[in-house]
Amino acid sequence: MRALLIMIMMIATGVCSAYSMEPPDHDALLLIASSATDPCTICAKQNLKKALAILDKDLAPGLEFNADESCMFVKPVSVKACDLYMSCYPTEVLEALKGKGDVLPKIVFTFHTEKSHLVGVAKKDYTNPIIEKLYNDLAPGRVFKACIRLIPYRYGDGHAYNYYRQSNKLQIHCMVVELEPFDKK
């Protein structure tokens, strides 16, 4: 019981000291966008390799990101239950910088739980059941503040992510450390 009270207090008091939430490196996303549509197979592979190298540096396991009013998370309407989208993506800057015909990758943050996890995610990296319940109680399409911690994924394309070329999706593996529904005042 005492552990539960401590956990609730940690969630309520904001123990997360994190970077402000923003999309991953612009250069990496633009390289992914161009690699997805480049008719030159060799060029596309080289651009994707460069992009993944940049993401490996920027999306290291253990990094924490804090979503606030400037960039919050959104619970998807019709996607897997443990996915989060960013309200500030894609940015106007990225849209303006991408090449004609290029499509920016979808970015999804996936958290893992006892009930829903991938092989290769350690139990210590599961999101706490209390936070999982808070998330599950949110209506689809609801925006919320949260703090996430990137977690290692041993079967990823990078240390903490997968890129799915067919669907042009960047899946970033994380643990939700804090979650607070957002109500406009």
3-state secondary structure 50-95: HHHHHHHHHCCCCCEEEEECCECEECCCCCCCCEEEECCCCCHHHH
- Cβ atoms of 168 and 108 within 8 Å: the answer is no
Quote helix, strand, coil % in the chain, to nearest 5.
30, 25, 45
Which two tokens mark 129? Answer: 């059941």
Three-state DSSP class for 172? strand
Q: Spell out the domain ranges in the chain.
A: 18-181
Distance CA 107, CA 4 (A): 33
Residue among 144, 172, 176 at smallest CA distance from 58: 172
From first to last of the 185 residues of the chain, give the pLDDT tens digit.
333 323 333 333 345 655 566 667 789 999 999 998 889 999 999 999 999 999 999 899 999 988 888 889 999 987 667 999 999 899 888 888 988 889 999 999 999 987 866 667 778 999 999 999 999 999 999 999 999 999 998 888 899 999 999 999 999 999 999 998 876 54
Which two tokens mark 83? Answer: 């996915």
124-163: pLDDT as tens digits: 999 999 999 999 999 999 999 999 999 998 888 899 999 9
